[in-house]
Structure 1
């Protein structure tokens, strides 16, 4: 495993540790999934988990979110022991995208998805949300999407290909009456991320950003994550957002980070490189 860290903000509070891992390892029936990961992540950082298919990226992210038990190692989320207090960790680490876990309902509107998630976060005796509350959430998602789109569209012509869908507003109307089936893949990405962020968690994990097929979409997605981190920092400086994202290639992150510059700086950028393990002789990995 290889981990590198670049501290971007000179005044970053590196004493505030979001995630700490020592010897973090997972072994399955077919052999090692990932092993001996040591990682120190300051609050407000962005972590890029990079590696080929079969290198254990999804399993690692799920283990950090308290949704998969590891075999060995020590891990902490702030003051929480990840292995001993997985249920509490699940309440602190939101899942922004994992295929099969965060899939959206095509026949739901955006407003219905937002309302459903808000109700889940409220006390049982308050099974409703106001229209003003919905508009506030939808407005923040739109703001993030619009900012990410504007920054990419300002790059020199030919840097990325663009399509009409990428030029469109995130939502057709402020009330979010558009159906999920009408959204582009990038718009769905930001909706999933927006839903994950509703509880204002300390950390969000996002698996396989490469599922966005177009390079321009991936760059806009990275830009949106950086922009939202900055929005969160400005609105709630005592509760910065740590983002952990997996991918096979992080080239579009480099472009987004360079282009945004000081407009959106996480406390640190940490890159963790995973390698695919050979299957044991008793089975094969897919």
Structure 2
């Protein structure tokens, strides 16, 4: 009983102050500032190509920022990227974490449970009898599937349904279930409302609200955020609704973002950084700290605004998380 209680998910607080990431041709996002408490629902809102996915990946330790400061559960970015990756999980993120269309739902779930047991299990768990380990994996799968609202019996071929035969909403539920198997403190999902009908979009947001209500902090990229989420907009000149949203105040969260606000400061001859926006594949936190972010970048190295090319280039360099 005590062990299971300790393993229950609990959200990670997320704080950003002047947070920015630069790609080869410009800033993917810049000057992002907000605070979100544990169990918050945070919506990163904006048009495609505005740096939404790059911000999502940077806040989960998958891309390296160059400006400002951010913390996830007290872990500073980019210095502790590997530690942040261990407490966060990605749902669907095109080009980074995608479902294999040839796999069945059951194959995806079993594979993720095996990987979770292999890489994140304690030594004591590895010494358990095979039958006991199998029962634990089944319990984790059932818990995650239930939390994601995925009804296996309602699928065309049950759990043997191939991913290519899933509806968009069911594929989203599966990706979230896979992420929740690891019981992360923060769940990140990209393009939550892409190609969904109004009814399916409402179901998708209801699902994320339920995940957040269970204690897991949720970051979701979208084209239009619901009124009850802490909203971060990457649109140029967009207002900061998070400052005035009563729901945000009730959740103990406040936030602003200036991701695409144009700057009037002059430029200086600051030296160019070497590789930026790359994925840190090693779990060695010392390696993550090898190239600390330079605070001077927030005012001396930025162009007039964030660019779609900068966001696309930075995202293209991530590879697979």
| Same fold by TM-score greater than 0.5 | yes
The yes-or-no answer on 1:247 pairing with 2:222 is yes
2:145 paired residue number: 141
Q: Label 1:17 to 1:121 Cα distance change in 2 as closer, same or farther (>3 A).
A: closer
Pair 1:27 & 2:22 matched? yes
Identify, as 1 or 2, the structure richer in strand.
1
How far apart in 2 are the matches of 1:186 and 1:134? 23
Q: CA deviation at 1:228?
A: 3.0
Which one of the candidate residues 154, 158, 178 is aligned to 1:169?
154
Compared CA separation, residues 106 and 138, structure 1 to 2 (3 A): farther
Tell me the distance in 2 between the aligned counterparts of 1:114 and 1:35: 37
CA offsets, 1:84-142, max 9 Å, x none?
A: 11111111111112112221112211111111111111136689963774376246525
Rounded Cα–Cα distance in structure 1 between residues aligned with 2:84 and 2:180: 15
Mapping of residues 180-195 of structure 1, within 5 Å: 180-195=163-178
Matches within 5 A, 1:20-169: 20-123=15-118, 130=134, 133-134=137-138, 137-138=141-142, 140-142=144-146, 144-145=148-149, 169=154
| Bigger Rg over Cα | 2
CA–CA distance in structure 2, aligned partners of residues 74 and 132 of structure 1: 38
* Count, aligned residues: 229
SS at match of 1:33: strand
Q: How high is the TM-score relative to the length of structure 2?
A: 0.62
Task: Give the structure 1 partner of residue 203 of structure 2.
Answer: 220
Structure 2, unpaired ranges of 5+: 1-10, 120-125, 230-249, 263-302, 313-321
CA pair 38-275 structure 1, distance change in 2 beyond 3 A: closer
Counterpart of 2:288 in structure 1 is none
Q: TM-score, normalised by structure 1?
A: 0.68
Name the SS of the counterpart of 1:73 in structure 2.
Answer: strand
Question: Would the alpha carbon gap of residues 247 and 197 (structure 1) be closer, same or farther in structure 2, given more than 3 Å must change?
Answer: same
Question: Secondary structure, in 3 states, of the residue corresponding to 2:118?
Answer: coil
Structure 1 residues 177-227: Cα deviation after superposition (integer angstroms, max 9, x where no partner): 222122111100010011011111110111111323322211111111112
Deviation at 1:251, TM superposition (A): 4.7
Stretches of structure 1 that go unaligned for 5 or more consecutive residues are 1-15, 148-167, 233-239, 255-265
Q: Kindly state the Cα deviation for residue 250 of structure 1 after the two structures are TM-superposed.
A: 2.2
Tell me if structure 2 keeps the 8 A contact 1:142–1:170. no
Encode CA deviations 1:39-73: one digit per residue, 9 max, x unaligned.
11100000011112222101000000111111111
In structure 2, distance between residues paired with 1:184 and 1:80: 37
Q: RMSD across aligned C-alpha pairs, in angstroms?
A: 3.4
SS of residue paired to 1:55: coil
